[in-house]
Amino acid sequence: SGMLDGKSALITGAASGIGRAAALAFAREGAWVAAADLTLEAAQKTVAAIEAQGGQAVAIAVDVTDDAAVQAMVAAAVSAFGGLDCAFNNAGIAPFQVNAGGVAAADVAEEAWMRILDVNLNGVWRSLRHEVAQMRKQGGGAIVNTASIAGLVGLRGSSAYVVSKHGVAGLTKAAAADHAAENIRVNAVCPGYIETPMTEDSMRRNGERIMARVPMARMGKPEEIAEAVVWMCSDRAGFVTGACWTVDGGYTAV
């Protein structure tokens, strides 16, 4: 039997990297998975992979910067599975995706700053608010947000990203406090450098320098993040809320 047997789970950013690995891991642990990403076609590839391993999933198109779309995403997950037990708010973008990589804090273009905050922080808040609305109707649930080591320390040249991820850590703690009485747990995972499309570019350019700072001297695999997320969503984590679980090969320990 799986750790998430009989639970329904919604995952954003489920088409790629950490979100895709989590979607597959959730399904393997017995959850029904609603896989949400920017395009339906991309989300459907994750669904096909889940079905190929014998799981059940639906694909949902969403842009987490659009509140109406986020509300519709939660409604679609609920209508597919009759409720929402777990949510993994994971969609995010990196500084280089808006030409703000390697730019000092004072020099970031306003548009890039606003965009990163809107996807990475406000997108998590929009998701969380509609998930909580459903979970409080059902009498509880478990939410995990993707923060980062950038939510714990001030990575150089990534200020807007750092602020967005510190914000996710703050939202996680505040929402955990606010919704504990409603039996809704809210936690975060803080990944270090993980092998996904998001890090391909910076690893190609600065890989050796970055790895020299990681005690384990390697990148993490998306599946190694999924392990922590599955556990935090499961009933085994019944007393865990407001936690930010670092999975970084020791990066922030030294």
Rounded distance between C-alpha atoms, residue 252 and residue 89, angstroms: 23
Distance CA 146, CA 252 (A): 16
* Spacing of C-alpha 161 from chain mean position: 14
CB of residue 26 to ligand NAD, shortest distance in Å: 15
CB of 232 to ligand NAD, least distance (A): 15
**Annotated active-site residue in 81, 88, 113, 161:** 161
Q: Which stretch binds ligand NAD (CB under 6 A): 47-55, 105-113, 196-204, 234-242?
A: 196-204
161 is known as an active-site residue: yes
The answer to whether residue 227 forms part of the interface with ligand NAD (CB under 6 A) is no
Among 4, 11, 18, 229, which residue interacts with ligand NAD (rule: CB under 6 A)?
A: 18
CB of 51 to ligand NAD, least distance (A): 19
76-115 as b/e: b if 16+ CB within 10 A? bbbebbebbbbbbbbbbbbbbbbebbebeeeebeeebbeb
Neighbour count for residue 63 (Cβ, 10 Å): 17
Q: Based on CB atoms, which residue is closest to ligand NAD, 84 or 194?
A: 194
- Nearer Cβ to ligand NAD (150/176): 150
Among 3, 8, 12, 113, binds ligand NAD (CB under 6 A): 12
Q: Is residue 38 a contact point for ligand NAD (CB under 6 A)?
A: yes
Does residue 113 interact with ligand NAD by CB under 6 A?
no
Long-range contacts of 75-80 (CB under 8 A, 24+ apart): 76/34, 77/8, 77/10, 77/34, 77/36, 78/134, 80/8, 80/32, 80/34
The two structure tokens encoding residue 194: 């993980």
User: How far is it, in rounded angstroms, from Cα 52 to Cα 71?
Assistant: 29
Minimum distance of ligand NAD from residue 248's CB (angstroms): 8
* Number of residues this chain uses to bind ligand NAD (CB under 6 A): 28
DSSP notation for 168-204:
HHHHHHHHHHHHGGGTEEEEEEEE-SBSSHHHHHHHH
User: Binding to ligand NAD by residue 122, rule CB under 6 A?
Assistant: no
Q: Write out the H or E segment, with its range, that includes residue 49.
A: helix 40-52
State which of residues 95, 141, 191, 249 lies at the interface with ligand NAD (CB under 6 A). Answer: 191
Task: List, by residue number, the catalytic residues.
Answer: 161
Q: Which residues bind ligand NAD (CB under 6 A)?
A: 12-13, 15-19, 37-38, 62-65, 90-93, 119, 123, 146, 148, 191, 193-194, 196-199
